[in-house]
Structure formats: C-alpha cells, structure tokens
A and B are shown apart, each in its own frame.
Chain A
Amino acid sequence: MASVTLKDVVKVYEGGVKVVDGFNLEIADREFVVLVGPSGCGKSTTLRMIAGLEELSSGTIRIGDRVVNDVPPKDRDIAMVFQNYALYPHMTVYENMVFALKLRGLGAAAIHEKAMRAAKILGIEGLLDRKPKALSGGQRQRVALGRAIVREPKCFLFDEPLSNLDAKLRVQMRAEIKQLHMSLHATTVYVTHDQEEAMTLGDRVVVMKDGVIQQCDGALEIYHHPKNRFVAGFLGSPPMNFFEGHLLAEGDRLLFDEGTAKIQVPEWARAELAPRAGTAVVMGVRPGAMSDQASARFATADNSLPMRVTLIQPLGDKMDVVLATERHPHTVAHVDAHARIRTGETLPVYIDTERVHFFAPGAVGERIATKRR
C-alpha cells in the first residue's frame, strides 16, 4: 500500500482546453478518496493521469515515494475498475482475473490460489468458467473488482464503476465496495458523479468543478460546511435551496430581505453579515430546514416566508413540497408526510435559521457564514 500525491497537476488537451488546473491532493496510505463533480469537471482525467493512461501537461504525481509521471501504467502497481468493466470478452471470468498474473509470469499454482481467494471474497466462484457475455451487470462488476484485487496493487482506481448498474444494485455494490476497502485497506481513488456515492464511500470527498478542487474534506464536513455555493448545491438530495436577496439593517436588527418577506438574521451570523448590510447575499437552506408547521420547534415570528404550493411529491414518511415565491419559483421543502398541504394554497413556510448558510452572490459564491456544530 502507498500514498498518492498530486502536486500542481495540469492537463491541457489539444486545442487548449484545460481540463485539470492546478490539482493538489495528498492521499494517505489506506485512505478512500472520492473525486466527485459534474461531468466534464476533470475528475476522470485526474484518475486516468494517476493510472498513467493520460499524460500530465505539468505537475507531478507520486505513488509512494516514486514520481510516476513517466512510468507506464503496468509499472505503477495500480489496478483500475472501469465504468464499462472493460472485461476481455473472449476470456472466461477466470482468465480475465488471472491475465495480469500470467503476464507477470507467476506460477500456475500461485495464480490459482490468488484467483480462488479473490473469487471467494467476491462470491463469484460459480462463474469462473463463464464468459462475460453470460453475466449480469452486477456479476461483471464483481469480476472487474476481482481482476483488480487479485493483483494486490498499491492503489485501486475506480472510474464510475457503478454507473451502468440499476439503482438497487448500485446501492448494494456500493456497500460491498466499502466493505472490501475495509477488509483490504488499500489506498483507493474513486471517481463518481453521484454525490450520494461520494458521501457514503469516501473517507474524504473532493468536489471538483471545471478542473479545480472546490473543497476537499470529510463527507459530513462538506455537507454541513460547504465552502461555496457550488459545493453546497452539489451535495445533498434534494439540493439546497438558494434565496437571493439582500441584507437590511433596521435599527439594531439585521434582516435578510427575500423580496416578499424578511427574515431575521440569526445571532451567530451577525458578526460576519453586519458589515455587508445593504449588499446582496445568498441564503442557502436545505429542504429539511424548512417546515410548513407553526408548531415546528424553530417557528418564530421572524423566520417565515409566505409561499405557494405548486407540487407535492409524496415519499412515504416524508414528502417533498415544491414551493414558490415571487422571486424563487422553485424551492423544495422536505416535510413530514402528515402535513395537510394542498397544491395551490399559499402558506407561511418556516425556516430553521440555525441551519442556514450565507454565500456571496454568484454561482460559486464563497461562504460568508455557517454555523459550526
């Protein structure tokens, strides 16, 4: 096992498109790091540079103590799992798994032992004589994993390995990958565009946008304390609501003016927000921090917005209610299912001001205030 270090890594494609721009990351030995971001953010390219499938335009990558910029993939001692599995279709499951070992010239007995061990871990002992064509998506994914683990590499690289699976299988495989990591303790870099996958799997999550790291932290840290509006909006489902308004100082009160109503800025945020009185800010509220009920524990006179219900999406115990104000026609509240709400009615919606975030204006507006917890 080994650490992986990326320093000032830049990738510029032909034609001048900069897909990775000044990427710095230290991945500790045995750590599970997830790169997440929308498509085109450079996460896969970064992973492929670690694998050696793409060349760096500048910067250095180390695996362990060795700079691997010019080391071919086969000598980097890594294993990679591809989105489409990239199994060799003309080989059986067993042959797929042992191909790398054969190329290394291992003895037949050693190969067999390693292959059987991996097969047992993954529960694919019964499939060893089949060709990939005869396997289901989940089974193929398991074989791809098996092919990676038989080699006992220093580092595992996953490139959106679960994207081709259906939702249920994805959840199941996600758990298995996590368990596998916990038992193998291998350094792992995992790329996904699925924030849920990122949060559940990663020791650390790296959120990327346009080739730049937006935030790199533990999953909960990112969730609760996003560094900017992009990160805040990317993690969480349904995503965070953003209200664009500006700050008003009325006497000794500091208010956030949404346009239709005003909300009192909580005590903990006053220090950061007071200097910005009179300027535009963005207030971020997660759907769960909004409620229709005056009985909600955070209901006060100064934290409600009158909103019209445009759509109700029942989810069982809970439901997502799509709400609209004049200026924010699409806002989602995640509320208890027993709430008696009807489409079309306008009602006061209460906001838990202990759990709001304030950002500077703009799509990637920096965080101004968030409550530490």
Chain B
Amino acid sequence: MTRSAGKYSDLTQFSIVLPTSAWLKSHAMRRSWSGRLAAPFGRASRSSGARLGRALAFLLALLTIALCALVSPVARAEAQPPPSPEGRVRVSYWEKWTGMEKEAMESVIDDFHRSQNRVWVDYQSVSQYQHKTLIATAGGDPPDIAGLLAADIADFAEKNALVPLDALMRGTHMSRESFLPVYWDMGVYRDHVWAVVSVPNVVSLYWNKDLFAKAGLDPDRPPRTIAELDAFAEKLTVAKGGRIEQLGFMPADTNWWPYGWGFWFGARLWDGGANITIDSPENVRAFSWFQSYGRRHDPGQLQNFTSSFGNFASAQNPFLSGKLAMVLQGIWMGNFIQKFSPDMRWGAAAFPSEKEGGPPVAIADADMLVIPSGAKHPNEAFEFIKYLTQQGPMEKLCLGQRKLSPLRSVSAEFYRDHKNPFIKSLQDLAASPGATPQPRISVWNEYTLEIRNASQRMWLGEATAEQALGDAKLVVQKSWDRHRHRQEAAPSRWLSLLPFLLIGLFGAGIVGAARREQKRLAKMSGVEKPVRSNASLGKGLAFFSPWGIGLLVFLAYPVASSIVYSFCDYSVLSPPRWIGLQNFIDLFQDEVFWIALKNTLIYVAIALPLGLTVALFFALLLDAKLRGSSIYRTLIFLPTLVPVVAGATIWIWMLNGEYGVINHFLHRASFGLFPKTSWLAERRFALPSLILVSTWTVGQTVLTLLAAMQDVPRSIYEAADIDGASFWQKIRHVTIPMISPVIYFNAIMGIIGALQVFATPYIMTAGGPARATLFYTQRLHENAFYFLRMGYACAMAWILFLVVLGLTALAHRLGHTRVHYGGA
C-alpha cells in the first residue's frame, strides 16, 4: 500500500465494529427521529407510522445502544460525569480530540463555566465521531454540540442532520466579517450557516534547512515555483549505487490531500453547479507533475525507500528522520518537529505555485462545531459556541493546540506566545485569497475516494493523468448527476410498510401451501381432520415464539427491508424514495462495481481451489499417523483462532517491502538476487498476495477433511493395498472419492465465503493499490457506510446473493455427480 492510502484507511479502520450497529440503527431510526428533525429542505415530515414499526425501532435502538456501550469510550466517560454545579443546563459535546488538543479545549470550557452560571458543557472524546454523530442524530439522541471536519458539513447538512445556525447568530458578534472568509465559508451550505470553525488548519511546505545547507542551497529560501521545487528536489536527492538514501520531495508520501495538487496550478474541482472538473487541463497538468515524481526513480527502489518510512507520529517520520527534505503538511507539523526532532532547523512557507506572482496558495481545512438536529439544548449549545468564537477564548484554544486562529483579527499576544515560529506567515497564508477549501459538495466522500484511486493509478504508472482523471470524473459526475436528479423524487411514506407487506405475503404463502398440503393428505387418507387430542394453536405459537420473534425481527424484517430499499434512494437520515430499477441500472453502468465484481470472481476462482488443495494436503499429512500429529493439528488450526485484525496486521508486516520477513528470506535464499518487493503495493502482486494469505486460515477445512478421512474404513485401504494400489492411487481412488461429500461441502461454503471476503483485504490493502484488491463487499460497505447510499448497497447485496446462488447452483451441477454420499 502506498502511504497515500493512509488517511482513508486510518479513518475507516476503526469502524470495523460499527457497521453492524450502524446497519441495525439505519433500519430502526428512520421512524423515531424524523418527526423531531428540523426540515430546512422540506423533506422530512412528521411520521405517523405503524405502531409495530415504532416498537421495532425502539427494540433495535436499545440493542444498538447496548452495542455502542460495549465499544465506545463515550459510554465509559458517561459512567463518571464531571461534577456539575447545581441548576445548570448540561450541554453534551462530542469531539474527536484527545491529549494536548483535548486539554486546550477543556481549559477553555473551564473558563466558560466560570464566565457564567447557567450552562455546563460536558466534553467527551469520541472515536469515529462522524459515524457516531450521524447515528446518534438519526436515533434522535445526539449530543448538543459535535466536532466535525469541514468536509463533513455539506453531507451532514444535505442529510438534515444539522441545526441551521442563522437564526441563533442574529445579533451576535458572529459574522463572516469577524472570521477569515475561507474558514467561515466552510460552515455555509445552500445559503445557510450550519457550522462554525473551531480550530483551523492550513497546509504548507515544510523544509529541512540542514539538508538544504548540505546540498548547497540557501537554507532560508524555499522554492517559489513548481519548477524551482523540482530543481531543489533533484539537488536534495541522494542515491548510492541505485539505492535511494534521501529524497528532496515525494508527493506520494502522506498523500493526505490528493485532491489539492491542482490548487497550485490554478485548478478547481467543481464549478459549483452541474460539473465535476477534476479532468480540467489545470488538474491534468498538476497530476502529470505529481506522476512525474514516481517516474524519476526506479519504481522498486522508490517502493523500498518509502516502505522504510516509519509512523507519521514518530521520530521515524521520514521528514523528521531526514529522509525527506521537503514535505507538504498541516500546521501540526511544527508540533511534531518540536517533539521528535527538536534540533532540526526548519522552515514553513506557502507551497510553491506553478506560476510566480499570484497570491500564495494553500489548502485550508478546519475542525467545525455543529449542533446536530434533535439536540435537546440548542440555545445553550450555541451559548458556548458564541463564547468560544470570541477572540480571547478562541486564541487561547488555538494557542493551546498550537494552531492558527480562524479570526480575522489576531492579537499581538497570540503571535508572541505561540510556540510555532512561523505562525505569522501561516496566519497570513490562511488569510490569502489563495487559501482553498474542499468543495462543499455532498458527494465529496466518493469524490475523494475516486481521486485517491486515480492518484494511485497514476503513481503506479497504470494510467496517464488524463486517463485516470477522466475515469474518476466519469464516476463522480455520474454520482453527482444521480444525486441531483434524485432530489426530485418525492419521499414515500408507504414504503416503510412495504417490508411488513412482503413478510405478510410470504407468511400467507407458507400458510396457504400448508393448507393445500393438509387438504391433499386429508383427501388421500379420507380423514377429514387428523385427531390430535393435545393440539393447541396458542401453545404451539408460544413454544415457537422465542425463535419466531427472533426470526421475524432479526432476519425477516431486515431481509424484507433490504429488498424494498434496493428499489429506493435511501440515505438512512431521510425517508426512502422509490426509484424503481434505477439502482440496478446504475450498478450495471458503474465501473467500480464491475472492477469489484471481477476482482472478487478472480479471488474465488483461485483462492478456493488453492485453499482446498492446501487443506487436502495438510489433512493427508495429518492422517498419516505421525508421532506428535496432535501438535501439528493444533498448529494448523491455530491461525483460525487469531483475530482477523491481528492476523491481517501481522501479514502486512510480513509482506512489507523493506522490513518484511518474507522478503528477508527470499533475499537470503536467493543470495541477494531476489529483489525486495512491496507485495501489497504492486498491482501484479497485491491480489495474489491476498490469495496466498487466505490459505493461512485453512485450519477449519483441514479439520473437517481430516475427520472425514478418519471415517474411511481401514479395510477399504487394505483392500486397495491388496488390489495393488500405490500411495497416490489410494488417495486418488479411495481417499478423495470417500471424502468427496466433505470436499464438496467445503467447496460450496468456500464459494459463499470467498464471495463475501472482506475483513482481511479491507485491513491489509483497503482495496488498493488502485483498486487492484477492491472486493465486492468492500465496495458494498463503501456505498452503505461511507457514502450512505443504502438503497444502492442493498441492490448490490441482492446481486451478490444472486451471484452466490448462481455459482452454488453451478457447483452443484458440476460436482454433484462426482460426489459419493455415504454408506458402504
């Protein structure tokens, strides 16, 4: 995996436990929250759904809360609330920060508590803040204040998840005039203010003055144009005998803002209307330049050099350890330098633009405060936001977090007390008209994913900038068009009844069939009604109910719902809209869908036979009565007991290009001839690597095969011995036919399992490089939980179901005549 995949996977890796609860919630909450939701776009209206639906929603909500309590630090924090002075309104505040940043905010909150005696703010650090805030909002019990990122605002606002702040702000000090415009505008979407900046960030160039001096460059003069940057980078690159030791610049390292390269070339990502402009000539130029850095060095050498980079927040960060001379980073880089490499001489300035002369250009980003829809104390929450956005508290917060201030006016004390020596120039950079935010477009999640994928493809040299960006544009434009058109379909209240109707029809079908069968039997036997003295419908249902209720609530309802949603546009937070077959039509035109399907089918076609062969091999070894075979049996089974995440993480390290054990042995065994390979980062090796990793957990299959082998009567082997069969002939003519039902069973389960492969590749490659290992369920997961396109995801789920059904039927057709079932 190139470093560039880092940010996305960082954000999503933590959500592994979440999907279940999010999914349950998504079904449950529709009813309970929508009535309470403010409806600025006139979409949500008061719900009057069936009582059953409400009870069901309540049940699922309870379950979800229980699940959340298990996994979230929120619940733990709640157990011990800070002492709250009597008589105050308590405002709950969910924020992503921990450590230094949390302390800074808590100090400001303490000041706020002292400044008045009406409101008390409970600060809670929350992981997966986006998911949790969204779910809590949908569930009707959100925090009063939540800390989001600027990129979340459009999506949340579009989903009706936020309280508009316009009315609350009237008559306060808060206005566009008092803020740096770029940060103020981040909270504005469709002419309403939804969020207010808390702590801003500006992305700029950081350079290592020591390395500049060593290379004969003026340490105090950063590059001013892209051409200069390239020239400096050349001089700052050190390679000995083909082995890279130091690089001047490497755009693929921490490619955290892959969308932003065009900003320095005068490009925009969206025209604010119908058009996605990632394929504009400026963007193509920018990404061609980005790509050129991948072509300046031997790809293998480059890959190995980058895989030697340590964690970002450590002394092994390539910039901090002197492996990279220049990096593009956020304002926090200063903190890391001071913490991990305090002796380094460094500078920070605007990243150079293509052409000299314009205003300095930077990527602007910010942490934002919002009041989620349904918050119980919006006025008190705003009270705190208002307090925070005054110059004093705001500067205290930003000083504490060592960030810049989002306010237009900055005090002399702020500059004086700030730990970052370049704060003035960074503050100026943020105020520059060239400070550019992410576009506030509701398909931004998908947009960034596409750009990230495109930049991976370019970096791997699989496509030119034009091709990669053109492909990305196609996908995003399609999605954006779809989104805009679907706004037109009206939400349908009756849709929520449809799942129950489906269950009812199915139930009626079963009852009808049973009746017919009863009648048929009655006719055959001539007995009108079978005599059963103890027959009682009530008792029968009572005995059935523990299982039956579970079946209805946890299986029948979700299944029926997903059928209904597959014909809907449904984003969890708004009521579903009926769109007929559109999801399926869109899917068949969705390039990413086909990539995911193809990868998955390849995976099944290779991993399954390979896994079975390996399992058979081990089972045969274990079946030979070796000394200590119980130990081998345990060893082979052991990997299946290792938690998936732990196993995947171990494999990431085993397959690492620079430090991986596998490369180490291959290198040694070949006397250094075998080149060190980044197995997961190269397209041709990534999928095969995952397939090989899948054989690590064949233990379960081995055990079932072994059990079957040990069931084969010894006398049949003896008969074969006497008949003259060799070792291999006995395996071929006795063992395999005799255990064929178990092989067949494992093959069928293997097909189903492999088609649903998710966790290990998700953790190891997150679908990369450039979607080489993007599997079906991961794409489904992206659609469902990253883009919140539940209807689309349900349609994908049903297509997968049909594929599973089809392949299983095919396997049955092919295998069934060769399977020998039971009995001598």
Contacts and interface: CB of A to CB of B under 8 A. Distances in A.
A147 B722 CA distance: 11
Contacts of B721: 52-53, 72-74
B737 interface: yes
Contact of A133 (B713, B725, B823): B823
Contacts of A53: 718, 721-722
B412 interface: no
A310 B687 CA distance: 85
B729 A86 contact: no
B820 A74 contact: no
Contact of B715 (A72, A86, A90, A132): A86
Contacts of A99: 720, 723, 725, 733
B824 A84 contact: yes
A132 B716 CA distance: 13
A84 B714 CA distance: 11
Contacts of A103: 723-725, 729
A100 B734 CA distance: 13
A80 B820 contact: no
A80 B725 contact: no
Nearest to A103: B724
A13 B718 CA distance: 19
B17 to A, nearest CB: 46
A51 B713 CA distance: 18
B723 A90 contact: no
B719 interface: yes
Contact of B722 (A51, A90, A132): A51
B737 A86 contact: no
A74 B824 contact: no
A88 B729 contact: no
A158 to B, nearest CB: 13
- A contact residues, range: 20 to 34
B738 interface: yes
Contact of A84 (B715, B734, B740, B820): B715
Contacts of B719: 80, 82, 86-88, 147
B824 A73 contact: no
B723 A74 contact: yes
B713 A86 contact: yes
Nearest to A80: B722
A190 interface: no
- Interface of B, secondary structure class, is helix
B824 A87 contact: yes
A91 B736 CA distance: 13
Contact of B820 (A51, A73, A85, A89): A89
A51 B719 CA distance: 10
Contacts of A51: 718, 722
Contact of B737 (A52, A84, A90, A104): A90
Contacts of A75: 724
Contacts of A84: 713, 715, 824
Contacts of B738: 89-90
Interface in B740-785: 740
A335 to B, nearest CB: 44
A79 interface: yes
A89 B824 contact: yes
Interface in A84-124: 84-91, 99-100, 103-104
Contacts of B725: 74, 99, 103
A307 interface: no
B733 A132 contact: no
Interface in B765-823: 820, 822-823
Of B721, B723, B729, B737, chain A has the most CB atoms within 10 Å of the CB of B723
B734 A78 contact: no
A99 B820 CA distance: 17
A330 B822 CA distance: 47
A132 B733 CA distance: 16
Nearest to A78: B722
Interface in A50-66: 51-53
A82 B718 CA distance: 9
Contact of A82 (B715, B729, B820, B822): B715
A75 B823 CA distance: 30
Contacts of A72: 721
A133 B721 CA distance: 22
A85 B723 contact: no
A132 B719 CA distance: 15
A74 B723 CA distance: 6
B723 to A, nearest CB: 4
Nearest to A105: B724
A159 to B, nearest CB: 9
A135 to B, nearest CB: 10
A22 B621 CA distance: 37
Contacts of B737: 88, 90-91
B819 to A, nearest CB: 9
Contacts of A133: 822-824
Interface in B679-717: 713, 715-716
A132 B724 contact: no
A201 B824 CA distance: 28
B202 to A, nearest CB: 73
Interface string B269-296: 0000000000000000000000000000
B708 to A, nearest CB: 13
A91 B723 CA distance: 14
A94 to B, nearest CB: 14
A74 B724 contact: yes
A282 B379 CA distance: 114
Interface string A35-58: 000000000000000011100000
Nearest to B716: A86
Contacts of B718: 51, 53, 73, 80, 82, 86
Interface in B315-353: none
Contacts of B823: 89, 133
Contacts of A78: 722
A30 B713 CA distance: 31
B724 A90 contact: no
Given A84-B824, A103-B723, A103-B725, 6 more contacts: A51-B722, A82-B715, A86-B716, A89-B824, A90-B740, A99-B725
14 contacts: A52-B722, A53-B722, A74-B723, A74-B724, A79-B722, A85-B824, A86-B715, A89-B716, A99-B723, A100-B722, A100-B724, A104-B724, A133-B823, A151-B723
The 4 closest A-B pairs by CB, nearest first: A74-B724, A90-B820, A100-B723, A86-B715
Interface of A: 51-53, 72-75, 78-80, 82-91, 99-100, 103-104, 132-133, 147, 151
